[in-house]
Structure 1
Amino acid sequence: MPPPPLPESKPGRLASIDVYRGIVMFLIGVRLLELDEVAKEFPHSAVWRFLGFHSSHVPWVGASLNDLIHPSFAFLTGAALVFSVSSRVAKGRTMRSMAGHALWRSVVLIVLGIFLRSQDRPMTNWTFEETLTQTGLGYMAVFVLAFYPVRTRWIWFSAILIGSWLLYALYPIMPPHPDLDAVNIPRHWRHDFTGFFAHWNHNRNVGWSVDLWLLNLFPRLRPYVGYYGGYTAINFIPTMATMILGLMAGTWLRQGQGSPRWVLRRLLQVGTACLAGGLALHFGGVCPIVKRLWTPAWVFFSGGCCFLILAALYHIIDVRQWRRWSFLFLVIGMNSLAFYVMRHTLDSWLAETLQRHLGEGVFLVLGAELKPVLVGSVSLVILCLVVLWMHRRKIYLRV
């Protein structure tokens, strides 16, 4: 049984968490501009190469700005959980009611993620790699850890990463597939590892093997052979470690509300240590930095980035009170679930509707190459206006 709930107090809402979440959602919205695809039309432009790289996922090893979206989402889920639990305890909620709400939230996130992955499909697409689904699968465990002391959290954090590493490292290295199409690996794939790191190759690892068994238990139009991006369902296990890092950050933010210098120093120290740890694991030959498999090295590397980003926003917004620039991000962050769902359900409809009513020529004024940028920009503005309208009327989509 968990120890008694956290002491009652009236926690203050930190704008930096909402702004960070809003920036993450805005970056998801920027994907509407298809900058990575447009960049291919300007291969000799350094600016477009930069924009294209950071608007897409890296093929396998390393990270772009776009790769930090999912870990930031998981990290912020853990950070916000501290304030959510504290608020409910202060209102006199029982452990049973809080656990019931956490379970409900977990189920909703899992189902919503599956729903989003099933759009434009003839039947339910039973897959578990979507951001919301991954968060929901680990949410209950992290919720329970919110009631345990720091030492217990670090023990579980270590156990998750060591167990995840052993799961891959002890699984036999698989030989190359004779037919890449048969296992959904991109043609002309040139990112496989050799040596020990071969335990973490694309659709040739323990996660892929588990998915071959698990996902084929569900009704499908055709047998599951592998995810094109190389993601796996068991990524949710190390994703919990990222959520625990967020839980720690949220705890320090709440405990140190009267000591901002202490909070800032702690976030910077842990963030730097995590970055160094991730790079040490990668270059030390222990495990690679691969976001698509959520390796322990990725947990440390991306977690370090999240700590440092949160530290910067905390200093700028909550300490220095420089907030005017962040209003849009704050609005989006306070209604992040609504923005996320709209972004993933209205994208095609918005693009088609805009061109139907305004005419395709309006979006060709800068040339055919930049048409996706104009269409995506208008679509993004519309989504922002919708959440602004919801904010003005205090309409928030929460679970």
Structure 2
Amino acid sequence: MGLTAAEEYKVNNVFWYKVISLPATLMINNLKTGRILSIDAFRGITILVMIFVNSVAGVSGIPSWMQHAHGNEDRMTFVDVVFPAFLFIVGMSVPFAINSRLAKGDTFWQLQRHIAWRTLGLWVLGIFMVNAEKVNAAATGMSGAAWSLLFYISAILVWNVYKFKNAWLSWCFKGVGMIGLIILALIFRGGEDGTERLTPDWWGILGLIGWAYLYACIIYQVFKGVAGAIMLMIAVCIGYYILCKQPFMGEWSWLTSQAGHAAHTAIVLSGMLLTLFYFDEDLGLKGSKLVSRVTGYFALLLIAGMLLRPAYKLSKIQATPSWCLYSSAICVAIFSLLYFLIDVKQISKWTAFFRPAGSNPLLTYILPDIVFYGMLLAGISLPAVLGEGLPGIAWCAFFAVIMLFLVKGLNKLGIRLQL
């Protein structure tokens, strides 16, 4: 008689089974099943705003509240909440993703391989996207637009979800994409003198998400999804950032270089904790008990941010604790409103517009760049009036909406990216 999935997991992973003490069901938390429409809507809205703010950044004559705050300022705008909203949503999704794979029978090491592959994918995409902005055409042998488009085509080939009956055919496409990425990395030359190679001067938005995702996944597994432990680790991450900023720590050690990643991880863990409050059925938070818990959580984030702000100003650029905590509090409020409208009041028809982007976020994220580099390669430019003031703002809003419609069409064509 064959072993059950739980028994096989125990046999193959005795040590880790004892350390992590996963229940026989292989689930870390008892989460609601199925897609959570309010999370998808939150993700889709965040992506729409992201496309808008990235586009409007190139428009002149716009008000300061539509721009990122400078690194030396003690303030934040709604633009500075877009990136932490991505991190927060990653945290909300992690428990569902990990528990789903465990429920399907993944062993401990299969799960770690999946996490490592996703992390590597985010790092690679982040590094390529950052370097796409500094291609030296003469030294590389092709224009920056051509190199960038080839990169995105290769990335789509690697991370597209194929539905071929023969798995080998899917791997053929993925293999072509991987070879393409390797070749593009080898031929890349950047900088004015064309001597720079493909390097992570910084990780890019996706790369930073990759680091925070990795650390959050480790923390979630080690502490078995216990809400109190996750709350404690948020404080530990904030404390680690503060420690790294002390003069005695120095400036060039590997430990201090992780300060920003620790701050970003705190935001991911904040989203993870909110998921447990709303969707972990073992916690049993419903009705007034749920409202009081979430309200208290929101207040705690705000108060902690206020207490830390005199010493650490609001700054997205520096990833300060006050920015992390305020951003997390804003995300708690936004998601709670969406949850009330969509899941409680069942007012959900309007979310249909955001669903394609919410279910295919990676493609939606890179699509504006693909369009931009395509226009650049084709020599197409926008009228100057669309780069200034109110007409420019209106165009950016229209462009963001068009991107969501375009993603919907690509979804129907079977182009869906998944790390």
TM over 0.5: yes
* Cα distance per residue 1:291-323 (max 9 Å; x no partner): 212122222211111111111111111111111
Cα separation, partners in 2 of 1:352 and 1:372, compared to 1, 3 Å: farther
**Number of the residue aligned with 2:365:** 340
Alignment counterpart, residue 102 of structure 1, candidates 111, 115, 130:
115
Cα separation, partners in 2 of 1:171 and 1:298, compared to 1, 3 Å: farther
**Number of the residue aligned with 1:177:** none
Cα separation, partners in 2 of 1:393 and 1:269, compared to 1, 3 Å: farther
**Number of the residue aligned with 1:380:** 400
**Number of the residue aligned with 1:391:** 411
Alignment counterpart, residue 27 of structure 1, candidates 49, 52, 72:
49
8 Å contact from structure 1 (residues 11, 254) kept in 2? no
* Cα distance per residue 1:28-86 (max 9 Å; x no partner): 1113542674435xxxxxxxx3xx41343355322111100111111111110111112
8 Å contact from structure 1 (residues 72, 306) kept in 2? yes
* Cα distance per residue 1:164-195 (max 9 Å; x no partner): 102113358xxxxxxxxxxxxxxxxxxxxxxx
* Cα distance per residue 1:368-388 (max 9 Å; x no partner): 655534653554344222211
The letter for the 2-side match of 1:142 is A
8 Å contact from structure 1 (residues 33, 372) kept in 2? no
Task: Work out whether 1:90 is the aligned partner of 2:164.
Answer: no
Task: Work out whether 1:291 is the aligned partner of 2:304.
Answer: no
**What is the aligned-residue RMSD (CA, Å)?**
3.0
1:393 Cα deviation from its structure 2 partner? 4.6
Matches within 5 A, 1:71-82: 71-82=84-95
SS at match of 2:201: coil
**Number of the residue aligned with 1:145:** 219
The letter for the 2-side match of 1:388 is K
Cα separation, partners in 2 of 1:264 and 1:107, compared to 1, 3 Å: farther
Measure the CA separation in 1 of the matches of 2:291 and 2:369.
Answer: 35
SS at match of 2:123: helix
8 Å contact from structure 1 (residues 32, 380) kept in 2? no
SS at match of 1:118: helix
Task: Work out whether 1:136 is the aligned partner of 2:154.
Answer: no
Task: Work out whether 1:321 is the aligned partner of 2:356.
Answer: no
**Number of the residue aligned with 1:250:** 275
8 Å contact from structure 1 (residues 32, 379) kept in 2? no
**Number of the residue aligned with 1:275:** 302
**Number of the residue aligned with 1:193:** none
Alignment counterpart, residue 306 of structure 1, candidates 331, 349, 354:
331
The letter for the 1-side match of 2:313 is P
8 Å contact from structure 1 (residues 35, 373) kept in 2? no
- Structure 2: 5+ residue runs without aligned partners? 1-18, 135-189, 191-196
8 Å contact from structure 1 (residues 134, 236) kept in 2? yes
Cα separation, partners in 2 of 1:369 and 1:315, compared to 1, 3 Å: closer
8 Å contact from structure 2 (residues 305, 323) kept in 1? yes
Cα separation, partners in 2 of 1:315 and 1:24, compared to 1, 3 Å: same
- Structure 1: 5+ residue runs without aligned partners? 41-48, 173-205, 215-231
Alignment counterpart, residue 157 of structure 1, candidates 203, 224, 234:
234
The letter for the 2-side match of 1:390 is L
8 Å contact from structure 1 (residues 2, 144) kept in 2? no
Measure the CA separation in 2 of the matches of 1:145 and 1:293.
Answer: 23
The letter for the 2-side match of 1:57 is A
**Number of the residue aligned with 2:7:** none
Q: TM-score with structure 1 length normalisation?
A: 0.73
Measure the CA separation in 2 of the matches of 1:57 and 1:391.
Answer: 35
**Number of the residue aligned with 1:199:** none
SS at match of 1:111: helix
**Number of the residue aligned with 1:187:** none
